Amino acid sequence: MKWQVGTVTDVRQETASARTIVLEVPNWPGHAAGQHVDVRLTAPDGYRASRSYSIASAWTGGTIELTVGEVPEGEVSPYLVEVLTVGDPLEIRGPVGGWFVWRPEFEGPVQLIGGGSGIVPLRAMLRSHAVATSTTPFRLLYSVRRPTSVIYVEDLKELAASDEVDVRLVYTREAPAGEPRVGRIDAEVLEQHAFRPEAGATTYVCGPTPFVETVANLLVGAGHDPARIRTERFGPTGDPQ
């Protein structure tokens, strides 16, 4: 698979440390929700650094979107979040990944469970669901530290307005007023808000490695079929490697 050069056509600040980059990529073959790309930066002396980022948008034939969270002292993300501007070129390779994907023709309800930046590929799945006007039941559990950590705030509100989509935020450190609970996703949260094992849902879990391991274990412990649980790990802190 070859590296292609895309052009930045827009940037959107999502949170204090996360930005969505909109790219026009001339020969983009299209992608499925959940796939990712490798991004490569080249310095004037030829030095290169690359990282992987999930595609945040559904494919509708135009631009593609990546959402990047800034890693303190990072090498690539500070450039993508603070330096890259509209009109700049960006080298990408992809789309890659065929396991952690959802396509509208898949059958069965879908449970999405995301921690922190793990929301990115899940949002692509939700957008893809909306674009296809799919009637598949979708539930999202999105774990964040505090209200200001939520990416895609407006988007999620819009998606939650649909009858088929249920969005539930879990706050682990600080919750908005009126929110009864502060704490991590546990067996009780799954019991209350996730599809029951009998529903036969396919579950997609994405986020920092410890988050994914914990949630996957909770799901299996609650009786969910391991074969129907798909995972994508983003490393110790959830930042792309």
39 in Cβ contact with 90 (< 8 Å):
yes
Scanning residues 130 to 159, which ones bind other proteins (CB under 8 A)? none
Does 29 help bind other proteins (rule: CB under 8 A)?
A: no
Position 221 contacts other proteins (CB under 8 A):
no
The answer to the question of residue 28 lying near other proteins (CB under 8 A) is no
Strand, helix or coil for residue 64? strand
Could you tell me the CA-to-CA distances from 74 to 19, 22, 99 in Å, in that order?
15, 21, 28
Q: How far is the CB of 67 from other proteins (least distance, A)?
A: 17
**Cα–Cα distance list, 79 to 21, 37, 71 (Å):** 12, 17, 10
Of 16, 26, 27, 83, which lies in the binding site for other proteins, with binding defined by CB under 8 A?
A: 83
Please report whether residue 7 would count as binding other proteins according to CB under 8 A: no
Q: Is 6 helix (H, G, I), strand (E, B) or coil?
A: strand
Q: Does 232 bind other proteins (CB under 8 A)?
A: yes
Q: At what angle do helices 119-131 and 153-160 cross, to 10 degrees?
A: 40
Binding status of residue 5 toward other proteins by CB under 8 A: yes
Evaluate whether 241 touches 52 at the Cβ level (below 8 Å): yes
Among 56, 58, 84, 144, binds other proteins (CB under 8 A): 84
Give me the residues that bind other proteins (CB under 8 A), please.
1, 3, 5, 36-38, 40-49, 52, 73, 75, 79, 83-84, 88-91, 93-94, 96-100, 208-210, 213-214, 230-236, 241
